[in-house]
A and B are shown apart, each in its own frame.
Chain A
Amino acid sequence: KVLQLEIPGMEECLNVASSIEALSSVDSVMMLYPFFYRPPSLRLEAGWHLFPLERYYQQITSQWRLSSINRDFSACPTYPPAVIVPAAVDDEALRKAARFRQGGRFPVLSYYHRKNGTVMLRSSQPLTGPNRKRCREDELLLGTVLDEGERGFIIDTRSAQAAKQARMTGGGTEPKASYPRWKRLHRPLERGRPLQESFAKLVDACNDTALTMDRWLSRLESCRWLSHVKAALSTACLAAQCLDREEACVLVHGAEGTDTTLLVTALAQLILDPGCRTLAGFQGLLEREWIEAGHPFHLRCARSAYSHARLKQEAPLFLLFLDCVWQLSRQFPFSLEFGEQLLLTLFDNAYASSYGTFLGNNEKERCLCKVKESTHSLWAWLNEPGEKKKYLNPLYSHNALVIWPSVEPQSIQLWQGLFFRWIRSSEYLDEAWAEIQRLVENDDTSVEESAGNGQSQAPLDTTAQTENKR
């Protein structure tokens, strides 16, 4: 979105510009707006503890335990205080494994696939380095995940080449010899600068009014954004396929394990787990897989597409995730409980927010700044009944199945609702959306009216039906 202001007087104009410049890049987290924002209707503490990891842990079998090894953020500064790890591995071994992984991000449970008990883990790259170092505890940790005779898959979000090169700087990947039961798959996903450039180019192209139809598609192609969307979805599908179809455990990591890793694990869960496709479930997923998992929001989402070159850490990974979610919602219009509006709101808040939810880079920073004590949670606001209604998808109906999206180029579309939000008029599409809402609500009310004392049994029946049909 570009606002064009006309200000009389050169001097005033410069003053305004420098003030905006200074105000929009406040250095201290504590001076940011969320610390001063006090909406009357919300309580400060509301919404901060909606999704404790403890509750997620309750769904998981006894082979896993909740470890508080990171209570004081000493094992890994970017992990939350509590993590789920194999029950057979004690905290001491975890500490050693953490030293073998970049930034201390040792393998932790990201998702438990209840259907067959397989799990998805995530971590950062192992620090094998040029001397091919090994770490017994790390090998043990991954070994205990697999039962006798089972094999697992490691999805590395870098190319084999890049992973090999990372050894020169102390990183690397799991060598076959030390992890014989894990098969490595390389699925390179772009991040960092190239992704940021792709985003900036796309926004440029979308705002270029001089572009003609015969150049538009090649311009779109040269942005490569849709290629990134396709690659991210494909990789997430691969992870989901390993879990659901191959019934094998999966470990996902790239380099730091805070960017593409989270993109893949979060998307895979959305594809596999109907629980993540509800409004509350999706918020829980974001909380677990993005916020607590230590995606550096503060560094990645500072200036959006118009970022200065000096902000090297800027990268729209979270946006890429939202775009992929939008693609899923387009292909499965009934399967997500929330609509496009929620994705847009999340995008807005990740970049500039009155709420503290996306502040800082990890739980440790948020703890230091007392974010939870002195700012409001975005979730508290979104879950206000009046607000919540805006984000619900009127067509939603629980779908217990895995939603396998198509990743053919023909099926992947540019997210117009975001990239052309301020360019095109969405009047007619909004009308259509209102009409859908009206139709569905009409139906609901007449069902209610006539069903009077309707039984809540119906949903059960239908699940049974679906089962039969399959």
Chain B
Amino acid sequence: MKVAGNTKGRVENVRLLDRVSSRKAALGTLYLTATHVIFVENASETRKETWVLHSQISSIEKQATTATGCPLLIRCKNFQVIHLIIPQERDCHDVYISLIRLARPVKYEELYCFSFNPKLDKEERERGWKLVDLNEEYNRMGIPNNYWQISDVNRDYGVCDSYPTEVYVPKSATAHIIVGSSKFRSRRRFPALSYYCKDNNTSICRSSQPLSGFSARCLEDEQMLQAIRKANPGSDFLYVVDTRPKLNAMANRAAGKGYENEDNYSNIKFQFIGIENIHVMRNSLQKMLEVCELKSPSMSDFLWGLENSGWLKHIKAIMDAGIFIAKAVAEEGVSVLVHCSDGWDRTAQVCSVASLLLDPYYRTMKGFMVLIEKDWVSFGHKFNHRYGNLDGDPKEISPVIDQFIECVWQLMEQFPCAFEFNERFLIHVQHHIYSCQFGNFLCNSQKERRELKIQERTYSLWAHLWKNRADYLNPLYRSDHSQTQATLHPQIASCNFLYKFWSGMYNRFEKGMHPRQSVTDYLMAVKEETQQLEEELEVLGERLASLQKVQSNDNKVKSKQQDQNKELGRSTSNISLANTPQEYNSNLKSFPSRSPSQGDEEDSALILTQDNLKSSDPDLSANSDQESGVEDLSCRSPSNGGCLPSEDSGKDSDEAVFLAV
């Protein structure tokens, strides 16, 4: 085991406190390796391990030493909070100093993805990277066509270094117009195609704000917008959506930036949609996490805290913007140009929410990967800055994509049959955006990624998720379902109650809070069993036919096989029933004793569930047209624990999966 820095990599007799009840603590040993913090419990029968990737660490806090030792609080970007008590102050300080260094790498090469080796050969790695192909995606949308074409104006990032090399623009927009327009836009992010609806020729384009100041104009930029409008012959105007609050946009004018003047551009309708900036969002999340961390809060504490954080209000604002755009495209048949300031945060959120509402393809697992790759990765969402992969300016950090992922979850709650993937899929995507275990989300732009040769040196997350897709399917999804096929129309009027706190994400490590039984897992098991039995029936039917003469014999075989089956199915469902007592210690302070075995019981039950489902997975993944999705109705959060393959431990099961292959 590599030891970091000059500290010793091992501290004994460390206590890991339970976040819900501080009296419950596990004694064990803490290890620091080059990539992980590992806590191994001493309890001989469990030896439970907690693994945390250094890149997941968001903050480390050393608290005042107490009689019992020196408390160290590690907050993770995936919302895990680890509370350790280290007996010696000196050890604690060493650990603290080492972690500060380890959690804030300064070079990309220090990140886990450069050392992570799932033992795949070169070919498999390349195939993994090819799983998501954006040219294919634009072809799927029906492009190039009579109105739209691919432009190589940015082939060596000469026009805009945060855009991809391949950009889709209206056919009538010449290189001269594009370059001219780019000079009139912040960071030269000119209007480019994000989504095209071939049914009615409408498009969603994206850009950054114009450098209009109080009165500046740019002929090429005006021509660019006109070209976009004309690429949709069905409509005589174009929506320009500025996702910022009006006040922010006006303030930008003083700095020579701003927004489009309706008088200068022919036939545009300009619209503000007030989504707050990254700093407001960062603070909002911070406040909400403080609420999540409260020790036995009352209902009022929780609801007040949640409202004061403003988080759900922001989520709703993003959704409303997406709904507005989807409506313009699907119902009014009007194309939309979206921008914010730089056009890489709010613009990405809003374009991808709108695409998700409009196109059922993005609600499939593959389509969702394509969507993130298209609207976020290729268009230069600054993953490195926003998610703090390398040590950088803390003011650049903001949960922008987290908010998009939450929007998807909120939609899944409203449309339980519409998505091919389930909640666990979203949680794992979020986890890996921060984990730096795969190369997909490294750096701030395609240009940087190419320079680092990411595809040759790291692996793609999408291939990893795709391989385990059986874990991520929504059992309620049916490709022939009405919800699946059409545009989604979320309710808008007076539907505040539809936006709910996502405990499956923000309290996902507090397993006791989640529904104790996972409907998703159960239904997946049921589906699988049904299918197995049907296959079996078929096989037996054939056999029956061929063995008609020896009928009596055959019967025996049949009943025997069924008995086996039955047991298999039942045990699956029964294990998922396992439930464990919870602590009501907050209300039982005066109570004398409690049973010690609870935690263990839960763990063993969970492990069993996992084993059981795992063992059945291979059959499932053989059928790729099996469905998927999100459960809901009465239960949320399959993250309940059981079958989360990787998160808890960051590394162990991910690696285990790979090693097994």
B interface footprint on A385-397 (CB within 8 Å = 1, 0 otherwise) = 0000000000101
Is there contact, CB below 8 Å, between A446 and B533? yes
Residues of A within 8 A of B292 (CB): 410
* B301, B417, B591: the one within 8 Å of A432 (CB): B417
Within 8 A of A (CB), among B145-204: none
Is there contact, CB below 8 Å, between B635 and A333? yes
A227 within 8 Å of B by Cβ?
A: yes
Residues of B within 8 A of A6 (CB): none
Q: What CA separation (Å) do A395 and B520 show in the bound complex?
A: 11
A interface footprint on B493-523 (CB within 8 Å = 1, 0 otherwise) = 1111111110100010010111111010011
**Closest chain B residue, CB of each to CB of A151:** B592
Is there contact, CB below 8 Å, between A465 and B574? yes
Q: Known contacts A432-B476, A450-B565: does B522 contact A411 (CB below 8 Å)?
A: no
Residues of B within 8 A of A411 (CB): 503, 513-514
Q: What CA separation (Å) do A208 and B302 show in the bound complex?
A: 22
Report A428 CB to chain B, min CB distance, Å. 5
Stretch from A25-33, A80-88, A254-262, A451-459 forming part of the interface with B: A451-459
Within 8 A of A (CB), among B88-128: none
Within 8 A of A (CB), among B526-564: 526-527, 529-530, 533-534, 536-537, 540, 558-559, 562-563
Q: What CA separation (Å) do A412 and B635 show in the bound complex?
A: 12
**Closest chain B residue, CB of each to CB of A237:** B584
Is there contact, CB below 8 Å, between B503 and A410? yes
Report A247 CB to chain B, min CB distance, Å. 11
B633 within 8 Å of A by Cβ?
A: yes
A17 within 8 Å of B by Cβ?
A: no
B619 within 8 Å of A by Cβ?
A: no
B69 within 8 Å of A by Cβ?
A: no
**Closest chain B residue, CB of each to CB of A413:** B500
Q: What CA separation (Å) do A55 and B591 show in the bound complex?
A: 34
**Closest chain B residue, CB of each to CB of A435:** B476
**Closest chain B residue, CB of each to CB of A187:** B587
Report B529 CB to chain A, min CB distance, Å. 6
Is there contact, CB below 8 Å, between B475 and A439? yes
**Closest chain A residue, CB of each to CB of B518:** A333
Q: What CA separation (Å) do A168 and B386 show in the bound complex?
A: 64
Residues of A within 8 A of B608 (CB): 469
Within 8 A of B (CB), among A364-418: 395, 397, 399, 401-414, 416
Q: What CA separation (Å) do A466 and B571 show in the bound complex?
A: 9
Residues of B within 8 A of A429 (CB): 416, 632-633
Q: What CA separation (Å) do A244 and B312 show in the bound complex?
A: 39
B297 within 8 Å of A by Cβ?
A: yes
Is there contact, CB below 8 Å, between B497 and A420? yes
Stretch from B321-329, B387-395, B421-429, B593-601 forming part of the interface with A: B593-601
Report B540 CB to chain A, min CB distance, Å. 7
Is there contact, CB below 8 Å, between B566 and A218? no
Q: What CA separation (Å) do A402 and B496 show in the bound complex?
A: 35
A50 within 8 Å of B by Cβ?
A: no
B298 within 8 Å of A by Cβ?
A: yes
Is there contact, CB below 8 Å, between B530 and A424? no
Report A19 CB to chain B, min CB distance, Å. 32
Most buried by B among A221, A238, A442, A458: A221
Residues of A within 8 A of B491 (CB): 424-425
Is there contact, CB below 8 Å, between A431 and B417? yes
* B298, B584, B601: the one within 8 Å of A241 (CB): B584
Is there contact, CB below 8 Å, between A449 and B303? no
Residues of A within 8 A of B570 (CB): 458-459, 461-462
Residues of B within 8 A of A334 (CB): 517, 519, 522, 573, 576-577
Q: What CA separation (Å) do A392 and B617 show in the bound complex?
A: 30
B273 within 8 Å of A by Cβ?
A: no
* B513, B571, B605: the one within 8 Å of A408 (CB): B513
B interface footprint on A37-66 (CB within 8 Å = 1, 0 otherwise) = 000000000000000000000000000000
Q: What CA separation (Å) do A241 and B417 show in the bound complex?
A: 38
Report A238 CB to chain B, min CB distance, Å. 6
Is there contact, CB below 8 Å, between B494 and A405? no
Q: What CA separation (Å) do A428 and B292 show in the bound complex?
A: 30
Is there contact, CB below 8 Å, between A406 and B513? yes
B interface footprint on A196-219 (CB within 8 Å = 1, 0 otherwise) = 000000000010111111111110
Q: What CA separation (Å) do A426 and B281 show in the bound complex?
A: 31
Q: What CA separation (Å) do A428 and B565 show in the bound complex?
A: 33
Residues of B within 8 A of A (CB-CB), count = 97
**Closest chain A residue, CB of each to CB of B569:** A447
Residues of B within 8 A of A210 (CB): 494
Most buried by A among B495, B501, B529, B533: B533
A185 within 8 Å of B by Cβ?
A: yes
Within 8 A of A (CB), among B195-249: none
B366 within 8 Å of A by Cβ?
A: no
Residues of A within 8 A of B534 (CB): 446
Q: What CA separation (Å) do A84 and B8 show in the bound complex?
A: 67
Is there contact, CB below 8 Å, between A466 and B306? no
Within 8 A of A (CB), among B291-309: 292, 296-304, 306-307
**Closest chain B residue, CB of each to CB of A398:** B577
Report A327 CB to chain B, min CB distance, Å. 10
* B497, B533, B584: the one within 8 Å of A407 (CB): B584
Report B638 CB to chain A, min CB distance, Å. 11
A337 within 8 Å of B by Cβ?
A: no
Q: What CA separation (Å) do A406 and B586 show in the bound complex?
A: 12
**Closest chain A residue, CB of each to CB of B300:** A221
Q: Known contacts A218-B303, A245-B581, A410-B507: does B516 contact A443 (CB below 8 Å)?
A: no
B144 within 8 Å of A by Cβ?
A: no
A440 within 8 Å of B by Cβ?
A: yes
Q: Known contacts A218-B307, A397-B573, A466-B578: does B584 contact A234 (CB below 8 Å)?
A: yes
B579 within 8 Å of A by Cβ?
A: yes
Residues of A within 8 A of B296 (CB): 408
Report B280 CB to chain A, min CB distance, Å. 13
A361 within 8 Å of B by Cβ?
A: no
Report B276 CB to chain A, min CB distance, Å. 12
Within 8 A of A (CB), among B454-503: 475-476, 478, 481-483, 491, 493-501, 503
Is there contact, CB below 8 Å, between A333 and B634? yes
B310 within 8 Å of A by Cβ?
A: yes
Q: What CA separation (Å) do A428 and B514 show in the bound complex?
A: 23
Q: Known contacts A218-B307, A466-B574, A470-B601: does B501 contact A428 (CB below 8 Å)?
A: no
Q: What CA separation (Å) do A425 and B588 show in the bound complex?
A: 41
Q: Known contacts A221-B303, A227-B299, A245-B595: does B498 contact A424 (CB below 8 Å)?
A: yes
Q: What CA separation (Å) do A405 and B584 show in the bound complex?
A: 9
Report B658 CB to chain A, min CB distance, Å. 29
Q: Known contacts A334-B517, A335-B577, A397-B573: does B416 contact A238 (CB below 8 Å)?
A: no
Q: Known contacts A332-B515, A439-B523: does B567 contact A458 (CB below 8 Å)?
A: yes
**Closest chain B residue, CB of each to CB of A399:** B577
**Closest chain A residue, CB of each to CB of B534:** A446
Is there contact, CB below 8 Å, between B298 and A227? yes
Report B620 CB to chain A, min CB distance, Å. 14
Is there contact, CB below 8 Å, between B587 and A452? no
Q: Known contacts A397-B574, A462-B571: does B417 contact A209 (CB below 8 Å)?
A: no
Report B108 CB to chain A, min CB distance, Å. 37
Interfacial residues, chain A to chain B (CB-CB below 8 A): 185, 187, 206, 208-218, 220-221, 224, 226-227, 230, 234-235, 237-238, 241, 244-246, 329-335, 339-340, 395, 397, 399, 401-414, 416, 420, 423-425, 428-429, 431-433, 435-436, 439-440, 442-443, 446-447, 449-455, 458-459, 461-462, 465-466, 469-470
15 contacts between A and B (CB under 8 A): A217-B312, A241-B584, A330-B515, A332-B517, A333-B634, A407-B584, A432-B417, A435-B481, A443-B527, A446-B534, A447-B569, A451-B565, A453-B559, A459-B570, A469-B578
Would you list the 9 A-B pairs with minimal beta carbon distance, nearest first?
A: A409-B302, A217-B307, A432-B416, A216-B496, A221-B303, A227-B299, A209-B494, A404-B581, A410-B503
**Beyond A221-B304, A401-B579, A409-B297, 6 additional pairs, beta carbon < 8 A:** A213-B499, A217-B304, A330-B634, A334-B576, A451-B566, A459-B570
